[in-house]
């Protein structure tokens, strides 16, 4: 079954443009019903199946929430609605409230015109491939409806934000606080607008918040982890000590120091690993992705701990962490997993762990990363002609081999296909940016362009 291709689910749930199939009300109602049918199969007689639905701040969230709620009710599933809530917040609440599953309505870092659906298990994990295949099998069947007596009910969880704020605070060492720190927190006009600033404030920091006025259409627009220029400018303007940027559903993190220097997920991953090692915690190793910067990999290996690369995507990082029984993993985009604190990537919690590392060592971020100079990465996206098979192109393979030989172990080449578009992504990483660009172009020009 694991080798079958899914029809609707991608690497991070179902995502697309609102109003275009499958992000339409009819499909979402059917999706809620199909998921409900799968979930109720394992419910014991006399028990009720309950799911939590959270969302980010996109205007389409109202539409999709109502459609999913109707589908779940038709399948006999009770629904708890928590309104806008970070994706990791939904994962936490699903587990804390002992619910059957959690559902997030979000397209993460995408513009507001997009939206999507992802599911969490009762343990706060991303649901398995088998579960997604089972939902797709149910979607192929006609939609029905249980009897009136068995219909699902809907409830509003009024204290969701407060519960999640307290959980985030609990992951910060009890003997530390953030007093004396001036922080700028950019919530990307997304789901963390009413949670993240309070977490840092209640731990003692002076907090200046930006990106906390969502209007349904401004999520990720010129702000947040995918557009950190606004954060950099604000940090300099108010002379803050640090800036923290989350994305629309608050599972990504980027940080900025007082000078405006930006620190990405790769660098923060090293900080998290080194801090745990210095405090004598059992680490085993760290999981990055195929895109993790080579300099960071070398630095982590220099700590005499393991390092493994997973496919791009936090779900694959999580799978490898579980396989290895390791705790720390992440990717350059800012998805950082600290499995000793949460079951999924959480931007707010990751920021707290970085702040704890700075407090433990009395060092700034540049000091914690002293000696680590990340290699320039050049990434070219080439839209190829339909029918082109880059894997069987001998000339392309020869050029890739030549570039790898020329780099002589001081860089690397990564070629991979987009999962959603006819694109080949050509990445070359080495110590010289000009060499990286020249090498990437020498490969990409051999790909027939659409």
Instruction: Give the list of residues 6+ apart from residue 247 with CB closer than 8 angstroms, or none.
Output: 108, 109, 188, 190, 220, 224, 225, 226, 334, 347
Coil, strand or helix at 329: strand
CA distance 42 to 58: 33
CA distance 122 to 129: 15
Instruction: Give the list of residues 6+ apart from residue 37 with CB closer than 8 angstroms, or none.
Output: 75, 138
Coil, strand or helix at 123: coil
CA distance 294 to 360: 27
Give yes or no for a cis peptide into 370 (omega within 30° of 0): no
Which one of 60, 108, 343, 444 is the catalytic residue?
108
Q: In 204-287, which residue ranges form alpha helices assigned H by DSSP? A: 229-238, 265-278
Q: What are the tokens at 165?
A: 């704020």
148 is catalytic: no
Identify which of 41, 27, 40, 16 has the alpha carbon closest to the alpha carbon of residue 140.
27
Q: What radius of gyration, in Å, describes the C-alpha atoms of the chain?
A: 23
Mind telling me the catalytic residues?
A: 108
């Amino acid at each position: 079954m694991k080798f079958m291709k899914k029809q609707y689910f991608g690497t991070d749930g179902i995502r697309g443009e609102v109003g275009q199939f499958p992000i339409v009300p009819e499909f979402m109602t059917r999706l809620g019903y199909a998921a409900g049918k799968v979930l109720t199969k394992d419910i014991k007689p006399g028990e009720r199946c309950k799911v939590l639905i959270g969302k980010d701040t996109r205007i389409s969230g109202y539409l999709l929430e109502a459609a999913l709620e109707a589908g779940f009710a038709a399948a006999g599933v009770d629904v708890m609605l928590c309104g806008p809530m970070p994706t990791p917040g939904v994962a936490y609440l699903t587990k804390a409230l002992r619910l059957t599953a959690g559902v997030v309505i979000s397209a993460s870092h995408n513009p507001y015109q997009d939206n999507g659906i992802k599911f969490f298990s009762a343990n706060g994990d991303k649901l398995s491939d088998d579960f997604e295949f089972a939902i797709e099998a149910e979607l192929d069947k006609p939609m029905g409806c249980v009897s009136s007596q068995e219909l699902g009910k809907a409830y509003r969880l009024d204290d969701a934000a407060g519960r999640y704020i307290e959980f985030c605070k609990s992951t910060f060492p009890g003997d530390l606080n953030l007093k004396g720190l001036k922080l700028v927190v950019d919530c990307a006009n997304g789901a963390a607008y009413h949670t993240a600033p309070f977490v840092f404030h209640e731990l003692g920091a002076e907090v200046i918040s930006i990106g906390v006025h969502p209007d349904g259409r401004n999520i990720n627009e010129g702000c947040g982890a995918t557009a950190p220029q606004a954060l950099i400018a604000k940090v300099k303007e108010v002379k803050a000590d640090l800036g923290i940027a989350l994305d629309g559903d608050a599972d990504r993190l980027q940080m900025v120091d007082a000078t405006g220097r930006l620190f990405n997920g790769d660098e923060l991953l090293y900080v998290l690993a080194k801090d745990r090692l210095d405090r004598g915690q059992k680490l085993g190793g760290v999981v990055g992705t195929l895109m993790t910067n080579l300099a960071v990999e070398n630095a982590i290996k220099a700590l005499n701990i393991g390092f493994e690369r997973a496919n791009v995507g936090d779900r694959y990082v999580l799978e490898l962490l579980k396989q290895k029984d390791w705790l720390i993993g992440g990717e350059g985009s800012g998805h950082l997993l600290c499995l000793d604190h949460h079951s999924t990537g959480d931007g707010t919690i990751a920021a707290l762990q970085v702040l704890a590392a700075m407090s433990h060592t009395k060092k700034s971020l540049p000091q914690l990363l002293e000696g680590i100079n990340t290699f320039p990465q050049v990434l070219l996206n080439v839209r190829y002609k339909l029918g082109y098979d880059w894997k069987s192109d001998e000339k392309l393979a020869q050029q890739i081999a030549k570039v790898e030989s020329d780099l002589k172990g001081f860089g690397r080449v990564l070629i991979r296909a987009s999962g959603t578009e006819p694109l080949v992504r050509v990445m070359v990483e080495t110590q010289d940016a000009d060499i990286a660009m020249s090498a990437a172009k020498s490969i990409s020009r051999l790909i027939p362009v659409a």
